[in-house]
């Protein structure tokens, strides 16, 4: 089961902050296509479209396929959302159904 | 009886041996195989070490690879921490025997939004198990999750799921948890892990720390229920289930010399039994250590190894002191036959003393073990514990057929037969040394208070330390009572003088008799010589008379010749006969 997790190369290309504007890089960890993971992804997309317009990228990582990734990013809870950029890194766990805490977790309150 | 119980349980439930010294004995074979076990205890009581030793032994001894999921220490820290116990984790990790996984969680970085589960943890554990084919898993302080992740309700449900999942996987799991107030664990993990719960405890009594282990529960198996002392040292974890030892050791008929010929004589001529327990008790300065040293020396002479625990003197001091009474220990020490282990009794707790002693005995493999003295352990009111400790030690030594020799200092106030540590029931041969104070002098007396399984002398012997070792002398028992030392000597001189006097008197009498006899014989000689003088005088007279007579006869013949007479001459012949008979009478 040691499937080597290949870091998506496209993601790296996306982390190129355009001058004067913060580039948002989000990573969502799920474990298989469960109702919970579908809900989480939908919730995340809604918020991003609403708050960040098109200035973001989302990486979806299935730890069942890439178990090593769970180790590298110290994932315990599923789903886990990691804000890779902008720094500092932020972790939000859950299906992201609580909009308030999701906004707080992403430092998007008051926007 | 306990043994048979444990054996029968061994059949009923598969167990996963820990290879931790002693633990497998009290659990009847190890931890429940394929099930989770909870190890709980306060900070610093050795939970992580216990778990790690379980994994390492599993990997090295039983070929069961193991996964260590650490919520507190990183892989590097863990490796460094257990390196001191001789566990080379790096090597084991490289050989895929052990998998270390540090799970770092920090609550400050985590926000919750909606429901979650712990699938991430499951996946990581799964990955670790599958990577090395693990049979054993440790979750070191799973409770860290409670402080790291929000929402206890979800956590609890997930942990329950985790344990079911682990059971289903058939891995033997150890979960460690901090002890909570009034409960076994802070988060009540014992509710989920119900197969086996082991409690570790670390408490301080009279300034010395004692580690103890207790099996709180073990579903489907009987187990030792006592608190067992355990030790963590450079060889790892060891539990001492010595209380579970039965009285089923085989006793020896072999006898070994005490090193003191006359003491051997007192013990029906052969000395102690091999594997027996000997106690020498007495007040200060009665020579307990000397008897111990003499015994040690005798054992060395037989080529046996002696382990000498000295709790009051340093080895060099002991050797010097014994040297002064002609007991040479240094050559034996150089030959490696005698090993001294000097510690202050107060240095560690009793259990640590016991465990270190047992370890030392196991490594040195002696035939004779000396503890000099055992009183030092008694501090305050811990006599029961000291007795328990000695009981365990005695049991252990008897199992190994090692002769144990204890010395014990009795205080002068107590009855002599009362040892400070009430261990008389453990003792097979008990020698008592006592002061005998007579005539402004202190002397040592020795007697055998008891000696199981042999005829022993009921006599008190005077016990002397000479330049050539220990000497036992008969005490003076006479009209004046029991005397020792100078009193004995003076009494003996007095007796000698009296005897001399009597001999002289007899001599005088004999002499007088001789003289009387001499006097008498002298008188006899005088009388005889007087008589002889008289006799010769008489003979002379007789001779003259005879001559005269003869002449008279001749004259008569001459006359008759001249007168031509015929008178017979025979008459003179008759006269001669008559004289001879007269001499005979004289």
> What are the structural domains, with CATH classification, of chain A?
23-105 (3.40.30.10)
8 Å CB contact between B283 and B408: no
Q: At B172, is the pLDDT very low, low, confident or very high (cuts 50, 70, 90)?
A: very high
Query: Mean pLDDT, to the nearest integer, of A76-80?
Result: 88
User: Residue B518 has what pLDDT?
Assistant: 93
User: Residue B523 has what pLDDT?
Assistant: 93
- The chain A residue lying nearest B129, using CA atoms, is A1
A44 shares contact with chain B (CB less than 8 Å): no
ipTM of this complex prediction, to 2 decimal places:
0.80
8 Å CB contact between B361 and B400: yes
**Least CB-CB distance to B115: which of A71, A74, A95?**
A95
Mutate which of A3, A80, A83, A94 to test chain B, going by most B C-beta atoms within 10 A? A94
Determine, for residues B121 and A76 on separate chains, whether the beta-carbon distance falls below 8 Å: yes
Cis amide prior to A79 (ω within 30 degrees): yes
Could you read off the pLDDT of B84-101 as tens digits, one per residue?
A: 888 888 998 899 899 998
A chain contacts of residue B150, beta-carbon cutoff 8 Å: 93
B467 shares contact with chain A (CB less than 8 Å): no
Pairing of strands B98-102, B255-256: unpaired
Mutate which of A27, A77, A104, A106 to test chain B, going by most B C-beta atoms within 10 A? A77
A63 shares contact with chain B (CB less than 8 Å): yes
Q: At which residue do the structure tokens 């328990």 appear?
A: B388
Could you read off the pLDDT of B308-321 as tens digits, one per residue?
A: 998 888 889 989 98
Q: pLDDT averaged over chain B? A: 82
**Least CB-CB distance to A76: which of B103, B112, B115?**
B103
Q: At B491, is the pLDDT very low, low, confident or very high (cuts 50, 70, 90)?
A: confident
Could you read off the pLDDT of B517-552 as tens digits, one per residue?
A: 999 999 999 999 999 999 999 999 998 988 888 888
List Cβ neighbours of B132 (8 Å cut-off, separation of 6 or more): B65, B67, B96, B97, B98, B99
Q: How far is B125 from chain A (nearest CA, A)?
A: 10
B chain contacts of residue A35, beta-carbon cutoff 8 Å: none
Annotate A60-95 with b (16+ C-beta within 10 A) or e (fewer).
ebbbbebbbbbbebbbbbbbbbbbbbeeeebbbbbb
| Token pair recorded at residue B420 | 């400070």
Q: How far is A21 from chain B (nearest CA, A)?
A: 24
User: Residue B306 has what pLDDT?
Assistant: 92
Could you read off the pLDDT of B405-442 as tens digits, one per residue?
A: 988 887 665 555 555 556 777 788 888 888 877 777 77
A40 shares contact with chain B (CB less than 8 Å): yes
User: Residue A2 has what pLDDT?
Assistant: 42
Determine, for residues B145 and A76 on separate chains, whether the beta-carbon distance falls below 8 Å: yes
Q: Which 118-137 residues of chain B touch chain A by CB within 8 A?
A: 118-121, 123-124, 126-127, 130-131
**Least CB-CB distance to A64: which of B111, B123, B150?**
B123
User: Residue B487 has what pLDDT?
Assistant: 74
Give the rounded distance of the alpha carbon of B86 from its chain centre. 33
B chain contacts of residue A39, beta-carbon cutoff 8 Å: 114
Q: How far is B61 from chain A (nearest CA, A)?
A: 26
8 Å CB contact between B356 and B211: no
> Rounded to whole angstroms, how far apart are CA atoms B73 and B81?
10
Sheet of B368-372, strands arranged across: B338-342, B306-310, B368-372, B403-409, B277-282, B429-437, B442-451, B461-466, B469-474
Pairing of strands B227-233, B208-218: antiparallel
> Rounded to whole angstroms, how far apart are CA atoms A82 and A105?
10
Determine, for residues B113 and A105 on separate chains, whether the beta-carbon distance falls below 8 Å: yes
């Amino acid at each position: 089961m040691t499937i080597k997790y290949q870091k998506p190369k496209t993601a790296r290309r996306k982390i190129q902050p355009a001058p004067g504007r913060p580039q948002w890089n989000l990573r969502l960890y799920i474990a298989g296509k469960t109702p919970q993971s579908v809900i989480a992804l939908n919730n995340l997309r809604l918020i991003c479209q609403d708050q960040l317009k098109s200035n973001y990228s989302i990486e979806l990582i299935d730890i069942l396929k890439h178990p090593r990734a769970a180790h590298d990013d110290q994932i315990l809870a599923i789903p886990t959302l990691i804000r890779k950029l902008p720094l500092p890194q932020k972790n939000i766990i859950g299906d992201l159904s609580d909009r308030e805490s999701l906004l707080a977790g992403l430092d998007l309150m008051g926007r | 009886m306990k043994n048979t119980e444990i054996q029968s349980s061994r059949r009923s439930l598969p167990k996963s041996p820990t290879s931790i010294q002693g633990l497998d004995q009290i659990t009847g074979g190890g931890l429940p195989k394929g099930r989770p076990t909870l190890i709980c205890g306060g900070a610093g009581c050795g939970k992580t070490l216990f778990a790690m030793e379980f994994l390492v032994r599993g990997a090295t001894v039983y070929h069961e690879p193991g996964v260590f999921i650490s919520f507190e220490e990183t892989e590097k820290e863990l490796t460094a921490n257990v390196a001191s116990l001789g566990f080379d984790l790096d090597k084991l990790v490289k050989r895929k025997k052990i998998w270390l996984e540090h799970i770092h969680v920090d609550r400050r970085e985590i926000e919750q939004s909606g429901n979650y589960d712990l699938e991430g943890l499951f996946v990581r554990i799964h990955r670790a198990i599958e990577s090395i084919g693990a049979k054993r898993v440790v979750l070191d302080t799973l409770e860290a999750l409670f402080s790291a992740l929000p929402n206890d309700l979800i956590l609890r449900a997930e942990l329950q799921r985790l344990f079911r999942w682990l059971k289903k996987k058939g891995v033997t799991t150890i979960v460690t948890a901090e002890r909570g107030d009034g409960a076994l664990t802070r988060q009540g993990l014992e509710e989920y892990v119900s197969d086996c719960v082991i409690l570790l405890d670390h408490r301080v009594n009279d300034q010395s720390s004692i580690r103890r282990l207790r099996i709180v529960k073990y579903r489907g198996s009987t187990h030792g229920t006592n608190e067992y002392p355990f030790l963590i040292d450079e060889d790892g974890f060891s539990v001492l289930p010595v209380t579970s030892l039965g009285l089923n050791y085989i006793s020896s008929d072999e006898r070994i010399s005490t090193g003191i010929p006359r003491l051997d004589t007192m013990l029906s001529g052969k000395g102690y039994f091999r594997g027996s327990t000997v106690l020498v008790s007495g007040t200060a300065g009665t020579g307990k250590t000397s008897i111990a040293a003499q015994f040690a020396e005798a054992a060395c002479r037989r080529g046996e190894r002696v382990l000498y625990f000295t709790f009051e003197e340093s080895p060099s001091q002991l050797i010097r002191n014994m040297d002064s009474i002609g007991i040479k220990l240094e050559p034996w020490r150089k030959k490696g036959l005698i090993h001294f282990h000097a510690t202050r009794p107060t240095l560690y707790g009793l259990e640590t003393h016991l465990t270190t002693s047992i370890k030392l005995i196991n490594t040195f493999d002696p035939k004779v073990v000396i503890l000099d003295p055992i009183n030092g352990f008694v501090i305050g009111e811990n006599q029961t514990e000291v007795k328990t400790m000695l009981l365990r030690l005695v049991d252990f030594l008897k199992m190994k057929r090692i002769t144990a020799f204890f010395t014990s200092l009795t205080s002068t106030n107590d009855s002599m037969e009362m040892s400070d540590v009430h261990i008389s029931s453990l003792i097979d041969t008990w020698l008592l040394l006592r002061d005998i104070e007579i005539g402004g002098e202190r002397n040592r007396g020795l007697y055998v208070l008891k000696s199981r399984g042999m005829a022993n002398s009921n006599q008190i012997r005077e016990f002397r330390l000479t330049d050539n070792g220990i000497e036992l002398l008969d005490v003076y028992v006479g009209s004046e009572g029991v005397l020792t030392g100078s009193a004995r000597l003076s009494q003996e001189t007095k007796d000698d003088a009296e005897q001399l006097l009597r001999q002289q008197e007899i001599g005088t009498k004999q002499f007088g008799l001789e003289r009387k006899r001499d006097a008498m014989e002298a008188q006899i000689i005088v009388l005889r010589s007087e008589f002889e003088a008289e006799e010769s005088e008489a003979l002379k007279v007789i001779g003259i008379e005879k001559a005269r007579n003869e002449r008279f006869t001749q004259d008569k013949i001459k006359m008759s010749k001249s007168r031509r007479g015929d008178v017979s001459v025979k008459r003179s012949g008759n006269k001669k006969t008559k004289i001879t008979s007269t001499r005979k009478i004289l």
